[in-house]
Amino acid sequence: MAFLANACNPGVVTGSDRPLAGTRIFAASQLGAGPWALSLLSDLGADVIKIEPPGRGDEARNVPPYAEDGDSLYYQALNRGCRAITLDLRQPEGRAVLRRLVPSCAAVYNNLRGGEPERLGLTYAALADVHPGIVCCSLSGFGQSGPRALEPGYDFLVQAYTGFMSLTGEPDGPPVRSGVSVVDFAAGILSMLAMMIGIQRASRTGVGAEIDVSLFDTAIAMLNYLACWNLNRGWEPARTRSSAHQSVVPAQTFRTADGFVVVMCMKEKFWERLCERLERPDLRADPRYGTFADRYEHREALLADLSAEFRRRSTEEWLRQLRGIVPCGPVHDVAEALADEHTAAREMIVEVDHPVFGTLRQTGTPMRFAGVQPIHVHAARLGEHTDEVLTALGGYGADEIAELRSRGVV
């Protein structure tokens, strides 16, 4: 109740009053999908303790460019705020250490391929005897069952498997993957949500859970209305010109006199307003374009007409004419998106001090709680908190830790 009380006053909640303060998660996570989701929980107060193999750590530490001395900007972008320990879960002694630490946490998270969580002792079946309320969440490429469960899975592969690439790009070009790892990030968010649901249920019932989330399932689910059309009416989606919506017209990119603008008439009122702003009452009066269905049927003629209109003015002129009236926007590059005035107003660029890289500018936390200020801390060095965690949470003495270290367990 402390958080609720503080959220009602004008002060800013920090430290022990942040929403997830007191929630501890051990994470055998690597690369992108899982670590990013967990870093957002860390921003909001969760104690996320990242488990990495001794010696080499997460492969993300060596991803170029800007990688040096077992750290990289890629790693920093995805692991903000997490404490780091090294623990070799391939060894029985490493798994024994985990079992000794588990009673101190609410969840154990991993994003390893199918079969690995069981082999490394990260499942509910392996840990329930020492902590019946433990929530064990696995995020993998293809899930913990099925014919591809044991295969490694990555965003690019899953976009290929699940039809995403067949829908992306121009009709006369090759299949294209999204420039951002959308499946990775979406699956990471879903795994985080599932884990937090499991933690909430465990706090109520005392019973933990085994949770299985995959990139493949996430991507299939994201096909959503396209899948519904295909499964029920045999509709076959395909790549569209100018990144157009599959069925709503006009909703696409248009070339302007000096660039591109995206216009989205997702409601009938927006189509009517577009005609007014174009000073083309004839388009609104044309029976070929009266409804969504009409415009879709006669889209070739309509889009040819609209394309000619949009080429007559610059992108900035069209934005002044349409913004706030018809959903529209420029096609920014990454630097322009990061420098956008709305990005700044939403405080989506934050600064994090790092002992080697200096002041790092990173994207911020997209989840906002009234009165709560996220705390952003740089990602830890490999094994930086091993001794601290083993001592405080496992009750290990200095001699025990030295012995584990001599045998390569930590």
Residue 310 neighbours by CB distance under 10 Å? 19
Q: In b/e form, how buried is each residue of 67-87, taking b as 16+ CB within 10 angstroms?
A: eeeebbbbbbbbbbbbbbbbb
Q: Tell me the sheet residues that pair with 13.
A: 372
**Catalytic residue (choose from 17, 184, 212, 217):** 184
List the beta bridge partners of residue 24.
47
Among the listed residues 331, 321, 330, the one whose alpha carbon sits nearest the alpha carbon of residue 275: 321
Contact status, residue 385 vs residue 88, Cβ threshold 8 Å:
no
- Determine whether 184 is an active site residue: yes
Phi, psi of 173 (to 5 degrees): -110, 180
Cα angle 266, 272, 275 (rounded to 5 degrees) comes to 110
DSSP string, 106-140: SEEEE---TTHHHHTT-SHHHHTTT-TT-EEEEEE
N-terminal to C-terminal alpha carbon distance within the chain: 38
Cis upstream peptide for 281 (omega within 30°)? no
Pairing of strands 24-28, 47-52: parallel
Question: Active-site positions?
Answer: 184
